[in-house]
């Protein structure tokens, strides 16, 4: 699944997230409702025929000599209200984001297994995490109350930051009206699924950023993530290339997923390869 590698999370944030999850397991009955503005996009949003498109995503780390080192590459296909996230680097897993049926399905090519996460599980995990952050006074450090701002010097650039994280996105006009909100919905689901799986960075600021640019009718062109610690910093740049419609090869990929959904063995999330 598309995400910044969990290996880049600063140690104290990784520890904080682990402590949060331990606390949540101990207080599993106490669940706060998600604020309306940050709930997952409704599954019944109408999808116009012919709204299919694809996005190629590449994630690079910026090294000390300004050289870009490829970290991850994905192809995301959007069709019939669903998003199919194909990892193009090993282990080449596939993630089906399916708001239509209120679920996410993880598919492992290596082990030939699949695991389903329901919409309710995703919402509950986010609500519990918020509750922990509120009780411990960590909303600011975890980016829950972070807000997207528009760069006063560049009309197409937006920023959001919290703790050791700083996101800056350069935006572009979409070639299709459906692209901004469909891609923001995808970003929302992916970020929250990573929270359920205890992977990657705290998701709330990234969700806020995606929703803010979608509200302006824009799509991301590049997203720069800078992580700072007491001793050093690391910078990652993600590029996004949107293309209307689906190629013949992309349609074949969707056909392949249909077979994987039928043939792969179901396993619980805890048994799914990380």
Name every residue whose Cβ is closer than 8 Å to that of residue 226 and which is 6 or more positions away in sequence: 165, 166, 168, 233, 234, 235, 236
42 pLDDT band, cuts 50/70/90, is very low
* Beta partners for residue 77, in sequence order: 54, 84
The DSSP secondary structure of 143-188, one letter per residue, reads TTT---EE-TT-TTEEEEEETTEEEEEEEE--SSTTHHHHHHHHHH
How far does the chain reach from its first CA to its final CA, in angstroms? 10
116 pLDDT band, cuts 50/70/90, is very high
pLDDT digits (tens, 9 = 90+) for 69-86: 999 999 999 999 999 999
- Contact predicate 55/183, CB 8 Å: yes
Three-state DSSP class for 247? coil
More confident residue, 84 or 197: 84
């Amino acid at each position: 699944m598309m995400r910044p590698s969990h290996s880049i999370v600063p140690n104290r944030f990784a520890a904080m997230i682990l402590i949060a999850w331990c606390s949540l397991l101990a207080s599993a009955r106490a669940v706060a409702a998600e604020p309306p503005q940050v709930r997952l996009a409704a599954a019944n949003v109408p999808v116009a025929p012919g709204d299919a498109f694809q996005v190629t995503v590449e994630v690079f780390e910026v090294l000390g000599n300004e050289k870009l080192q490829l970290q991850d590459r994905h192809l995301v296909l959007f069709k019939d209200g669903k998003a199919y996230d194909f990892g193009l680097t090993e282990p080449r897993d596939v993630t089906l984001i399916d708001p239509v049926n209120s679920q996410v399905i993880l598919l492992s090519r290596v082990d030939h297994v699949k695991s389903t996460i329901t919409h309710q599980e995703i919402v509950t995990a986010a609500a519990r995490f918020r509750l922990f952050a509120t009780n411990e006074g960590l909303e600011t450090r975890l980016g829950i109350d972070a807000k997207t701002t528009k760069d006063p010097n560049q009309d197409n650039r937006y920023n959001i930051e919290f703790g050791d994280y700083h996101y800056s996105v350069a935006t572009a006009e979409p070639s299709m009206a459906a692209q901004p909100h469909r891609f923001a919905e995808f970003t929302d689901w992916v970020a929250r699924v990573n929270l359920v799986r205890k992977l990657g960075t705290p998701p709330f600021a990234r969700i806020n950023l995606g929703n803010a640019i979608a509200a302006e009718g824009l799509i991301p062109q590049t997203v720069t993530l800078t992580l700072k610690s007491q001793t050093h910093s690391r910078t990652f740049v993600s590029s996004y290339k949107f293309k209307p419609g689906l190629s013949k090869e992309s349609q074949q990929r969707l056909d392949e997923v249909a077979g994987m959904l039928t043939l792969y063995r179901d396993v619980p999330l805890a048994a799914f390869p990380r």
